[in-house]
Structure 1
């Protein structure tokens, strides 16, 4: 039997994927049941769901693909073909150089043609042609951007990535209501970060949305991800001391990791978990 590939990062680019947190996430999983139901409320790229299923093959893992990452995976061959052709157009260009003149026109023409043919993964394309952490979601935005030759040298591979997962697509609140009273459930809670760029997500988040998420942590077993930009932890501590409400993080474990954005900018990623 062919050994299943274990992905340590999402097969296609996704802003906010937890690949750098896996070294802390996997040991923390040992505190949880190998046969539990894991509900990934904000599935994103599916990396957390994939990691749980790889770590605990007998667990039931529900991946809420609200951002329709599956569509990008389904079209991965079209994406590989487009990038292969762009790589050929830019074969004489040095890596990371700005793309100008006729070459830029040829790149944009090929992308526009691919769009007419039916599908372009602009998130993946952004990772190959735009400055780091810049994303465009359509051709009109893309053609206004400065392009760089950051073309990937090899094809993207996603074979087996979602194997064994139960995939759904619904509002996290509805999914939580479905499982909140089921025994032996652990919630994976990784919403878009407050005060952090969320441009590639399907919906726009306001402060109230972030606070609503905290309700799923009350009395449940969970993994929750945030950053020091959000001040959520300090807010919950204030609520506990100034109001009759409890702090959902009381008794939980905390892991942190420094994330560098640019040479002069960084923030702290936070994982809070409560078995």
Structure 2
């Protein structure tokens, strides 16, 4: 019987995936039921859902794929073929150097051909052709960007990543209402962070959106992810002292991790969970 691969990072690039938090997430997860229903309200790359299913094969795991990550996974073979072609184009080009001239034109032509064929994974290809943490989301953007030879040298592998997981694409509020009254349900709540870059997410998040999310934490079991940039924790403490409202984080456990953006910039990632 073939052993199922356990992914420690998302198989395709995704800004905001929780791979660096798994060392804290996995031990905390062991405090919950192995047969509960886990609802990943802001599924993102699906890494949290995958981790739950890997630890608890008998659990029901609902992955809310609002960013259509599954479409990227379904097209991984096409993306690998494109990367293979790009490696051939850049075979004699210096690694990590700016790509100019005829070679750049050849790359743009190849990307254009891929888009015209029906699908181009802009985020994954951006990670191989653009400066770190930059993304293009259209051919028009790619034509304007400075390209670099940082093409991945191995193929991506997504086999079995979402096996046994129920994938949906709904508003998180609708999903919450559907499952909130179950006897054993745990919500995974990882919304786009306030005051951080959200270009690779669908839509634009305002303060009201972040505050609305806090309603799913009221009288539920959850994992909630935020950062010290958001000041959400301090805001909830203020609300508790100045209004009749309660603090949804009372009685919860907190884990932190330093996230490095570049050599002179970092912030604190925060995981709060209530059993």
TM-score bracket for the superposition, by shorter chain length: over 0.9
Residue 40 (structure 1) aligned with residue 40 (structure 2): yes
Superposed CA offset, 1:172-191 (max 9, x none)? 00000001111110000000
Provide the TM-score with structure 1 as the length reference: 0.99
Q: Write the distance in 2 (CA, Å) between the matches of 1:136 and 1:44.
A: 18
Give the equivalent residue in structure 1 for 2:182.
182
Superposed CA offset, 1:201-238 (max 9, x none)? 11211110000000000100000000010000000010
Q: Write the distance in 2 (CA, Å) between the matches of 1:238 and 1:202.
A: 30
Q: Write the distance in 1 (CA, Å) between the matches of 2:117 and 2:18.
A: 33
Which structure 2 residues correspond to residues 215-234 of structure 1 after superposition, within 5 A?
A: 215-234=215-234
Superposed CA offset, 1:13-41 (max 9, x none)? 01100000001100000111111000000
Aligned residues: 275
Which structure 2 residues correspond to residues 172-251 of structure 1 after superposition, within 5 A?
A: 172-251=172-251
For structure 2, the residue ranges without an aligned partner over 5 or more in a row are none
**RMSD of equivalent CA atoms:** 0.6
Q: Write the distance in 1 (CA, Å) between the matches of 2:255 and 2:187.
A: 17
Q: Write the distance in 2 (CA, Å) between the matches of 1:18 and 1:251.
A: 23
Superposed CA offset, 1:239-259 (max 9, x none)? 011111000001111111111
Q: Write the distance in 1 (CA, Å) between the matches of 2:251 and 2:37.
A: 22
Give the equivalent residue in structure 1 for 2:146.
146
- Misfit runs of 4+, over 2 Å: none
Provide the TM-score with structure 2 as the length reference: 0.99
Q: Write the distance in 2 (CA, Å) between the matches of 1:212 and 1:142.
A: 35
Give the equivalent residue in structure 2 for 1:161.
161
